[in-house]
Structure 1
Amino acid sequence: MHWKGLLTAAAFGPAAQAATMLRFSCSQLVVERLDPLVNPGQVPSPHLHQIVGGNGFNATMDSDAADLATVASCTTCTPAEDFSNYWTAVMFFKARNGTYHRVATKGNPLGFTAATGGQTVYYLSPGSQGSNVGGSGNAKVTAFRPGFRMTVGDPSFRSAAEIKKYPQLTYTCLQTSTTRGGETTNFPKAACKVGIMVNIRFPTCWDGKNVDSPDHQSHVAYPTGSGTSAGCPSTHPVRIPQVFYETIWDTSPFNDKALWPADGSQPFVWSFGDATGYGTHGDYVFGWKGDALQRAFDANCNSDLMGNNVNCPTLKTQTIQQGNQCSKKVTVRENLDGWMTTLPGGMTV
């Protein structure tokens, strides 16, 4: 997203938006080693994740049976009917002496400071503020079906050439809370005063048949073409919402260069052992109740870009403070605080 676009939207308000743009806070639900998509049933999974959303998250979430709206009893997200789960790997700081410290997330300073970590979640249609997929704002968008899930990115990637497959996975080095320029596909190389914002944008075209695929990616695709002429490929003809995460990792406690590697190289690593940043990835399992998400898109709902107002009368919402109260029993208990000699699970960098 570009700050110029945000300023324009804020100045003119929701009425100036021609398409759907839902933006809301999802506080942190749990941090643990579970991954029901890539490592279903495995307790613990190989690397650590941060999870937000409904408390129905578990080690096993079968696509044929999982309707999270009936499994979960609460959600950390502002829309009270959104029991979806959104998760990413966890960022660590690697000090000069070789020890690791987990980096915490924080609520987005643009309206969500009350959140206990987590991330900002967007649902976008073509033509909306922040949409990065092109196409006309008049394009019909079909909400996900129960059981739908997908991933984006590849944790094995370690090069700029590889990440070209996923150009919509980026980092923003926040020098101020309003920094939105200078996105990179690798970890920022300089200290970021406010933190590192990780941007994960999922594909927006669906094959119209499968709620999942063996690699959790083949049933979806990015549009082809550019600008308003961008459209879905014939293999994936159905427009779905663009799910977009902004996760702000509070790297400011680690900005002392005396702690950084002696050669001045950037010191952050992902929980799966990636020090380049090219392996960033995200996971998503749909869990909106009934037709709530479709109603929001049919109504062209638009959220405030500076606060926690979803601006969507058809949706039930809750406060950030209410979302903060939603919890899940920890399945994998391990010490994740303080300095560590190895990453959780013994992942190598």
Structure 2
Amino acid sequence: MAIKGILSLLAFGFSHQAAGWWILGCDKPVSIDRVDPIASPGKLSHHLHTVMGGNAFDWAMDFNTTQTANCTTCIVSKDLSNYWVPTVYFHDKNGSFVSVKQTGGANVYYQQRIDHTELEAGKSIQAFPKGFRMVAGDANARTWTDTREHKAIQFACLAPGESLPTFQGFPNRTCDSGLRLQVLFPSCWDGVNTDSDDHRSHVAYPSSIDNGFCPDTHPVRLMFLMYEVTWAVDDFNHLRTDGDQPFVLSNGDATGYSYHGDFLNGWDTDVLTNAINNTSCGDSTRGDIHLCEVFKPYLLTDGQQNQCKSVPRKTREPVNGTIAKLPGCNPVTAEGDDVPSC
């Protein structure tokens, strides 16, 4: 079962909920491969991704492709979307790389963050349109910048008995219960384009990143998405030296600043719309998806999610366990380094 969300609503200033919200749990990945139909359609991706969702995931996809999936690793059968992030590795002192396991899958938060001024103007949250896709974060970032886009990528070190604040980038400390990586997506849409050349310009963050008002250029409010994936970095605590930072993303980034997420919509539009407008779809404190009357006929068990057959890998590169190099051309890069063009 996917990890339980532990972020409080107060932390997000969740004061203008119109109706339902929920946490969509996703179990095992449906793909771990160098495939990215948004950034690299029809060809090998630059780096490895861990992908959740429908098993129609492929080199190139549109909405109709998502609907050919016969199962999903996420909990609602009417959601055949795909959700993906870079994979995390431990960089051993001998130069090899060891894949880091996910702890309990992934959670995707679907939350309503419409501003009170928009509600007063008669606006409402819209379902993602068919063909909609977007990216949050920058795979080429190796330097921290004080922007909404960078602030939307958050790390949380989990440790028993401690309530630790989120931060940016890999920590120079151990995390005894794992490292949770969070991607907050823009929730303001231009109302016209389901994608853009950079996969970002058709959407924008509201004034406070996860809440607030939308800019005039992007006046349509969508559900606020957040990915939450916990990586078992604590498996490597015994191999660490105090103060070192031995983890890298699959694109070679040792800073963590380039962590990012991709979303490709595959929802049944009517089901998603009904859930957005149904007050039973999410209790006031936990976002329990099992309370949603709209979803109840379509909820999968843990066994059904885990039985979803993974997508056959496109490459023969080793990706799990101990490997000599990161898949693709991804030498390890530190803060300020340029990303290699190989």
Query: Counterpart amino acid of 1:41?
Result: G
Cα 1:185–1:216, aligned 2, differ >3 Å: closer, same or farther? same
Partner of 1:167: 151
Question: In 2, distance between residues paired with 1:183 and 1:74?
Answer: 34
The sequence identity of aligned pairs, in percent, is 38
For 1:305 and 1:335, the matched residues in 2 are separated by 42
Structure 1 stretch 207-216 or stretch 306-315: which is displaced more? 306-315
**Residue 256 of structure 2, aligned match among 277, 285, 296:** 277
Deviation at 1:342, TM superposition (A): 1.2
Report the CA distance between 1:292 and its aligned residue.
1.0
Q: Which residue in 2 is equivalent to 1:193?
A: 176
Deviation, structure 1 residue 331: 2.2
* Residues in 2 aligned to 1:205 and 1:245: alpha-carbon distance in whole angstroms: 17
Select which of 233, 237, 248 maps to 1:255: 237
Instruction: Give the deviation of 1:324 after TM superposition.
Output: 0.8
Give the alignment of 1:12-23 within 5 angstroms.
Answer: 19-23=19-23
Q: Structure 2: how far apart are the matches of 1:293 and 1:184?
A: 32
Show the counterpart of 1:14: none
Structure 1 residue 224: Cα displacement = 2.3
Q: Decide whether the 8 Å contact of 1:54 with 1:72 is kept in 2.
A: yes
Inter-partner Cα distance in structure 2 for 1:6 and 1:317 = 28
Aligned partner of 1:209 among 182, 192, 210: 192
Following superposition, the deviation at residue 304 of structure 1 comes to 8.6
TM-aligned CA distance change 1:226 to 1:314, over 3 Å: closer
- Cα offset for 1:19? 3.5
2:41 partner letter: P
Match of 1:241 among 208, 223, 242: 223
- Which residue of 1 is the match for residue 24 of structure 2? 24
Q: Secondary structure at the match of 1:291?
A: helix
- Give the counterpart letter for 1:189 in structure 2: N
**2:235 counterpart SS class:** helix
AA in 2 matched with 1:168: A
Mapping 1:23-62, distance limit 5 Å: 23-27=23-27, 28-42=29-43, 44-62=44-62
Q: TM-score, normalised by structure 2?
A: 0.84
- Residue 313, structure 1, aligned to residue 293, structure 2: yes
For 1:153, give the aligned amino acid. Answer: G
Q: Does 1:84 align with 2:81?
A: yes
Q: 1-side partners of 2:328 and 2:213: how far apart?
A: 42
For 2:216 and 2:20, the matched residues in 1 are separated by: 24
The structure-2 alpha-carbon separation of the partners of 1:292 and 1:179, relative to structure 1 and needing over 3 Å to count, comes to: farther
Match of 2:267 among 275, 288, 294: 288
- 8 A Cα contact 1:25 1:308, kept in partner: no
Q: 2:142 touches 2:253 (CA, 8 Å); kept in 1? A: yes
The number of residues matched between the two structures is 315
Distance in 2 of aligned mates of 1:121 and 1:299:
19
Q: CA deviation at 1:4?
A: 5.0
Distance 1:305 1:102, change over 3 A: farther
Identify unmatched segments of 5+ residues in structure 1.
8-16, 108-117, 128-133
The CA distance in 2 between the partners of 1:80 and 1:311, in whole Å, is 16
After TM superposition, the structure 1 stretch with the greater mean CA deviation from structure 2, 304-313 or 69-78, is 304-313
C-alpha separation between the residues in 2 aligned to 1:213 and 1:337? 33
Unaligned runs of 5+ in 2: 12-16, 333-342
Summarize the Cα distance change of 1:136–1:302 in structure 2 as closer, same or farther, 3 Å threshold: farther
RMSD: 2.6
**Mapping of 1:66-215 within 5 angstroms?**
66-107=63-104, 118-126=105-113, 138=119, 140-161=124-145, 165-176=149-160, 181-215=164-198
CA distance in 2, matches of 1:227, 1:264: 32
Task: After TM superposition, list the pairs within 5 Å mapping 1:2-21 onto structure 2.
Answer: 3=7, 5=9, 19-21=19-21
